[in-house]
Amino acid sequence: MGDLSVYPGRRLAVPGDIRDASFAQLLIDRTVTEFGRLDVLVNNAGLGHHSALAEMPLADVRTILDTNVVGLVAATQTAVAVMKRQGRGQIINISSIVGQRPLMHSGIYCASKTAVNFLSRSWRMELKPYNIKVTLVYPGVTATEFGLAKLGGAGENRFGLSGIPAERVGQAVVKAIQYGRTEVYVTWYDWAVAHLSRLFPRAIDSFLAWSVQKS
């Protein structure tokens, strides 16, 4: 965990494993005890995976889904119970551009992010009457430790793209809170890939395959 004392304001760190549903309860309870309310939940915890279909261990599939999907559901359920009582709140789910446009050799990670997208859009409708907003953020390649932490072997950046600084994603999240945005692309490139993929899926397949080969 980074040193939070360098940032302004009050802060509380609660270490734990998001795959354990009781951790979500502990996290939210301690936040409400410390700050008196819960304005925003950012579901950021996530784990990547890189492997060909034939070599993908089912244990890895479960770990990815437990972390990226089940953990997010548990945290959201717990936060929403508090937000409903408050009559307001915002859930921010950190998805990925690959949840909109899958890449080869990372099918289960892409599928986990697609699940996050559909859950979020469904909850957005369901929670609107309670004044709870649901925001999706779609980062592209970002310079973090994600490539080192991912399961299934190395493969830090196989797409010939240099990652944007993580601060750009953080700033996009802050703006999403300030302006109540619902769908957030961090760069124009990610926006273009998502939208062009729907219009020209085969051309984008070829472009991405070429990018991987080139890198």
Ligand X SMILES: NC(=O)c1ccc[n+]([C@@H]2O[C@H](COP(=O)([O-])OP(=O)(O)OC[C@H]3O[C@@H](n4cnc5c(N)ncnc54)[C@H](OP(=O)(O)O)[C@@H]3O)[C@@H](O)[C@H]2O)c1
Residue closer to ligand X (CB basis): 122 or 144: 144
Report, in Å, the least distance between residue 207 CB and ligand X: 18
Residue closer to ligand X (CB basis): 131 or 215: 215
Provide the 10 A C-beta neighbour count for residue 72. Answer: 26
Residue closer to ligand X (CB basis): 86 or 163: 163
Among residues 41, 47, 74, 151, the one that binds ligand X under rule CB under 6 A: 47
Q: Is 109 a catalytic residue?
A: yes
Amino acid of residue 43: N
Burial of 29 (0-12, 13-18, 19+ CB in 10 A): middle
Report, in Å, the least distance between residue 182 CB and ligand X: 18
Q: Minimal CA–CA distance to 167: which of 144, 134, 190?
A: 144
CB 197 within 8 A of CB 100: yes
Using DSSP's 3-state secondary structure scheme, residue 95 falls into coil
Report, in Å, the least distance between residue 94 CB and ligand X: 4
Window 124 to 143, contacts with ligand X (CB under 6 A): 139, 141-142
Q: Is 3 in the site for ligand X (CB under 6 A)?
A: no
CB 32 within 8 A of CB 14: no
CB 166 within 8 A of CB 62: no
Question: Any idea which residue has 């830090």 for tokens?
Answer: 156
Among residues 60, 110, 146, 197, the one that binds ligand X under rule CB under 6 A: 146
Q: Is 25 in the site for ligand X (CB under 6 A)?
A: no
Q: Is 149 in the site for ligand X (CB under 6 A)?
A: yes
Catalytic annotation, pick one of 109, 130, 185, 189: 109
SS3 content of the chain, % helix, strand, coil (to 5): 55, 10, 30
Q: Is 171 in the site for ligand X (CB under 6 A)?
A: no
**Residue sitting closest to ligand X (CB):** 46
Separation of alpha carbons 124 and 133, rounded Å: 6
Q: Minimal CA–CA distance to 110: which of 91, 92, 95?
A: 95
Report, in Å, the least distance between residue 84 CB and ligand X: 24
Report, in Å, the least distance between residue 202 CB and ligand X: 24
Residues annotated as catalytic are 109
Residues that bind ligand X (CB under 6 A): 17-19, 44-47, 67, 94, 96, 139, 141-142, 144-146, 149, 163
